[in-house]
Amino acid sequence: MQLTVNGQKQSVDDASTLLDLLIEMNIGTEQKGIAVALNTEVVARAMWADTRLCNGDRVDIIHAVQGG
* Gap between the Cα atoms of 59 and 31, Å rounded: 18
* Gap between the Cα atoms of 30 and 68, Å rounded: 25
Query: Where in the chain are the domains?
Result: 2-63
Mean pLDDT of the chain: 94
pTM of the predicted protein model: 0.89
2-63 — its CATH code?
Answer: 3.10.20.30
> What DSSP assignment string belongs to 5-53?
ETTEEEE--TT-BHHHHHHHTT--TTSSSEEEEETTEEE-GGGGGG-B-
Q: Which of 48, 67, 68, 50 is nearest to 59 (CA)?
A: 48
Question: Has residue 31 got a pLDDT over 90?
Answer: no
Question: Has residue 11 got a pLDDT over 90?
Answer: yes
Condensed to tens digits (0 to 9), the pLDDT of residues 40-55 reads: 999 999 999 999 999 9
